[in-house]
Structure formats: structure tokens, C-alpha cells
Structure 1
Amino acid sequence: MAMGKTPGSSDDEGDSAGFAEINITPLTDVMLVLLIIFMVTSTVITQQGPGGGTKTGLKVNLPKGGSADVTARTTDISVAVLADGRFVLAGNVVAEAELKQAFDKAKEQNPDTVVIVQADEGVSHGTVVQVMELAKQAGLGQLAIGVREGN
């Protein structure tokens, strides 16, 4: 076999095989592995959300409401109130004092920060008001309540 000959060229031996094939199997394998890695990491990132973003990765049974009027920004703070009354901020269960510190820090960074309260249906009204009062004491006056769209 003549090395370096182009397909279709004539040679004295009559062998015109050359390098007419490209093996793409390794390329396909690498691309499939990368696709799987990106799919797994994107779901993890979506569940965690940016520091204090609206997605906390916890299942909160939100009450039904109208269509969403508030579009969450990366600077907004989302506080989930679980059915047992615990507060969740950025995926971590926090105490009331830590929640107040987070509100104070958010006020320093951006005074227009919106506090989105995502409370479970079983949470008492007083607990939701407690979170809202902490936000107002820190100087954050823009409050929103997270609901799921109801039909």
C-alpha cells in the first residue's frame, strides 16, 4: 500500500486505497461523555441557585395564586419557610438572627433588593409576617410572596 497517496490517483502498483476513511467513534464517545457531564451539572446548579436566588432546591408546597408578577433577579433574596416553621436561605436552614444578618447585608449591597417569601401552605400566618417584619426592620421594603400558578 502506498502511503500518502490521494484516493483516485494512479500508481504503478494499482493500489488506490489510501486514507479515505476517518474514524469518528472516539469523537462521538467524548461528545457523549461531555453531554452527560453538562446535563448533570446543570441540574445541580439549577437546584442550588445563585447565592440567595429563588431556587433553593427544597420542596415547598406553595399555595395557589395568580400568575407571577415578580421576576426574580440575582440580587433578590428568597426565604423559604418550611411546614415546621424553620427558615431556609440559599439552601441552608438558618436561625432568625442569621436571617436578620442576611437582610442587613443585602440592604448594604443593594437597597432595592426584593425579599421573596416562599412559605409552605401549612405555615401559620404569623411566621410569614415575622419574616416580613425582619426584612422591614433591615430596611428592605420590597416584599413578595411566592405562589404557584393556580388554574
Structure 2
Amino acid sequence: MAFSTNTSGPMSEINVTPLVDVMLVLLIIFMITAPVLAHKIEVDLPQPNKDITPPENPPSPINLKIDQSGAFYWNGSPVDELGLKAQLAVIGQQTLPNQPEIQIAADDNVAYEYVARVLADAKSYNLVKIGFNEAQ
């Protein structure tokens, strides 16, 4: 270090000791956490069932639109909540390969409550083929 006899001005030297200390601590932290991040996470993915054959003529999907006000449209026709539940009950009585897919297209500004009600109703009627589309 160079010392000057002129003490009237500020020192222009930087003390790097705290910087080196912080860098060493960060290096130790990264060395400890790096092996933890390198471990493999085992995920059980579903395997295709070879015994079940897909239907030859699958039913066409049903488009369920939910607009901003919470109104429901079943394939373009307006339907109230009771009518929607009745339609879902009819579909739920069909066997799994014959169930049509329900494609929900919710408006961007619709309250989540309406979508959650539809999903809860679909689950209560044993519907498993549910998809989401972008609202037009």
C-alpha cells in the first residue's frame, strides 16, 4: 500500500478484504448446494395400457364457453347452470372411451369462481376428458 503525506484529500484506495470474504462465503455455499441440485428426481410417468384400444370413431368434443359475465355457452347455445349440470350428468353416464372431451374456453376477464364450479361439477359427474382452449 502506498501512503502519502498529504492527508487533506480523500483516500482513493478500495478495501477489498470484505469483498473477498463475501466471495469466499458464496463459493462455499455454492459448493455445498451444487451436489444437492445434481441429484436425480424420480418421476413415475403413466405408461400406455396396451389392453385398451382407442375408439374407432371418437365423439366430437363439446365446446363450453364461459364469457366475462359468467354465462355458459354449450356448443354455441346459451345454457344456465342447471342445464349445464344436466348436460354434464348425461355425459358422465357414458363409459370412459365414449365420453366426449369437454373443451372449456373461458374469457380472460371471467372470475375464476365460474371455471372452478364447472370443474367441480365435471369431477362430481365422473368426467375425465377436460381440456382448455383460448376464448375467441
Which structure is larger by alpha-carbon Rg, 1 or 2? 2
